[in-house]
């Protein structure tokens, strides 16, 4: 598979992960044999269909034309992120959604896609070599101020929702694209040090439930019936799956409603309980192959915009998958990041499918 054409491998892997996601979501929507969340499952099927349509359209559209889409999409995402703070729909203490009748739209998902387009477009014009060609180091730093500001604006807005996970995703996208654009490491390291130095201040900005999530990450048993409950149940679910799993729709933690948010943030726990270590390992390998193939497309791209655009998509999928799995096994604080192509959610799914479609076009144009 690793030696096949990247486009073919990417399509096959995305199809498989989506299929696994549908199986897992169908199971997680049941409780004690009853289809208690049928509406969620039907909506996800609809979004999968829409996602494939968007992927097909994006794959047939020359990726270089998307350079002009970056700024308009970025403006729309920033405006909607600001709007959601005042009149957005709040769920579990976080105000992140805009209601559209029976459906909800999450502007922060569009923001991830827009940020990749804007940063890839900026650095493709003002490349790392051009930044380093400045006679003084201050000139190089000035060249980073604009993309850094472009990143920090939506980052600040999502922190106010609050959405710590998405804020970290934005910063990771910036770091990845800037690094691959050959920006001097000392400037990226300086930005990282400045971020670490601000952590004490950042702690006081967090909501109480976010602080609790960080504390129970270190020891879930300090609040086993509160903030640590979901982490404990998630680890029990995955551990009880053992090597081969309990079988589809046979997980006790999910079917008996011990596991919260099992159709979104903790869908990997449902998968692990039902399909065991073998199934979990296979799923992780699928994500690894997908990311490697996207990076291969980036390496073979004919221009720097295509290279940075594909790399940004790889960074987006990698960070989501890595943190989500880490959350489920208790190796990361719970920050509310969905598992790409698996977790329930139309905004995330459609945006990810659009991003994959663009990657396919980059591969076709190489």
Per-residue confidence (pLDDT) for residue 281, from 0 to 100: 97
pLDDT per residue over 54-78, tens digit each? 999 999 999 999 988 999 999 999 9
SS3 98: strand
193 has pLDDT over 70 = yes
Per-residue confidence (pLDDT) for residue 135, from 0 to 100: 39
**Measured between alpha carbons, how far is 196 from 212 in angstroms, rounded to an integer?**
20
Contact between 173 and 316 (Cβ < 8 Å): yes
**Measured between alpha carbons, how far is 252 from 239 in angstroms, rounded to an integer?**
12
Q: What phi, psi does 91 have (nearest 5°)?
A: -135, 125
Q: Which residue has the higher pLDDT, 234 or 356?
A: 356
**Which residue bears the tokens 């995305």?**
14
> Among residues 332, 340, 300, 296, which one has the least CA distance to residue 316?
340
| Other CB atoms within 10 Å distance of the CB of residue 283 | 23
Alpha-helix residue ranges (DSSP H) falling in the chain: 6-28, 38-59, 70-87, 107-125, 128-132, 137-159, 164-180, 185-197, 199-205, 208-218, 229-240, 252-255, 267-300, 304-328, 346-365
90 has pLDDT over 60 = no
Contact between 275 and 241 (Cβ < 8 Å): yes
**Measured between alpha carbons, how far is 180 from 18 in angstroms, rounded to an integer?**
29
Of 252-256, 270-274, 347-351, the range with the lowest mean pLDDT is 252-256
Provide, rounded to the nearest whole percent, the portion of the chain with pLDDT above 70.
86
Of 67-71, 73-77, 158-162, 360-364, the range with the lowest mean pLDDT is 158-162
Of 249-253, 267-271, 341-345, the range with the lowest mean pLDDT is 249-253
**Measured between alpha carbons, how far is 151 from 236 in angstroms, rounded to an integer?**
38
Tokens of 68: 């002009």
Contact between 10 and 352 (Cβ < 8 Å): no
> Which residues, in sequence order, are bridge partners of residue 95?
90
Of 183-187, 233-237, 343-347, the range with the lowest mean pLDDT is 183-187
343 has pLDDT over 80 = yes
Q: Which residue has the higher pLDDT, 199 or 275?
A: 275
Of 82-86, 102-106, 124-128, 349-353, the range with the lowest mean pLDDT is 124-128
Quote the radius of gyration of the chain (alpha carbons, Å). 21
> Among residues 168, 169, 174, 203, which one has the least CA distance to residue 187?
174
> Among residues 255, 212, 252, 248, which one has the least CA distance to residue 231?
212
Per-residue confidence (pLDDT) for residue 251, from 0 to 100: 83
Q: What is the mean pLDDT of the chain?
A: 85
pLDDT per residue over 20-43, tens digit each? 999 999 998 888 777 878 889 999
Of 13-27, 164-178, 254-268, the range with the lowest mean pLDDT is 254-268
Q: Which residue has the higher pLDDT, 159 or 183?
A: 159
CA 280 vs CA 15, 30, 123, 273, 328: distances in Å: 17, 21, 37, 9, 12
344 has pLDDT over 80 = yes
21, with CB counted inside 10 A (0-12, 13-18, 19+), is buried
Q: At what angle do helices 164-180 and 107-125 cross, to 10 degrees?
A: 20
Q: Return the ∠ at Cα 73 (arms to 67 and 77), rounded to 5°.
A: 145
**Measured between alpha carbons, how far is 262 from 29 in angstroms, rounded to an integer?**
8
SS3 31: strand
139 has pLDDT over 80 = no
93 has pLDDT over 70 = no
Q: What phi, psi does 105 have (nearest 5°)?
A: -115, 135
Q: With bands split at pLDDT 50, 70 and 90, how would you rate the model's confidence at 96?
A: low
């Amino acid at each position: 598979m690793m030696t096949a054409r990247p486009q073919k491998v990417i399509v096959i892997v995305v199809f498989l992960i989506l299929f696994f996601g549908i199986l897992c979501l169908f199971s997680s929507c049941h409780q004690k044999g009853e289809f208690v969340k049928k509406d969620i499952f039907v909506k996800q099927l609809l979004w999968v269909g829409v996602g494939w349509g968007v992927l097909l359209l994006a794959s047939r559209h020359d990726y270089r034309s998307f350079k002009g889409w970056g700024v308009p999409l970025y403006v729309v995402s920033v405006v909607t992120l600001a709007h959601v703070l005042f009149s957005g729909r709040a769920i579990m203490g976080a105000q992140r959604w805009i209601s559209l009748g029976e459906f909800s739209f999450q502007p922060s998902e569009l923001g991830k896609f827009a940020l990749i387009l804007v940063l890839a477009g900026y650095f493709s014009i003002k490349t790392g070599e051009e930044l380093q060609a400045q006679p003084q180091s201050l000139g190089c730093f000035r060249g980073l101020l604009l993309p850094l500001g472009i990143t920090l604006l939506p980052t600040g807005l999502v922190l106010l929702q609050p959405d710590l996970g998405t804020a970290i995703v934005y910063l990771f996208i910036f770091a990845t694209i800037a690094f691959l654009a050959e920006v001097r490491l000392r400037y990226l390291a300086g930005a990282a040090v400045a971020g670490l130095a601000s952590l004490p201040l950042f702690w006081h900005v967090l909501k109480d439930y976010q602080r609790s999530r960080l504390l129970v990450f270190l020891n879930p048993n300090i609040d086993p019936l509160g903030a640590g409950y979901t982490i404990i149940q998630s680890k029990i679910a995955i551990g009880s799956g053992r090597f081969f799993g309990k079988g589809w729709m046979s997980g006790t933690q999910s079917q008996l409603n011990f596991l919260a948010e099992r159709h979104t943030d903790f869908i990997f726990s449902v998968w692990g309980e039902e399909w065991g270590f073998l199934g979990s390992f296979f799923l992780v390998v699928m994500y690894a192959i997908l990311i490697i193939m996207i990076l291969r497309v980036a390496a073979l791209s004919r221009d720097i915009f295509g290279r940075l655009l594909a790399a940004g998509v790889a960074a987006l999928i990698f960070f989501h998958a890595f943190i989500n799995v880490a959350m489920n096994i208790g190796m990361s604080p719970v920050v509310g990041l969905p598992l790409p192509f698996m977790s329930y959610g139309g905004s995330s799914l459609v945006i990810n499918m659009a991003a994959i479609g663009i990657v396919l076009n980059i591969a076709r144009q190489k």
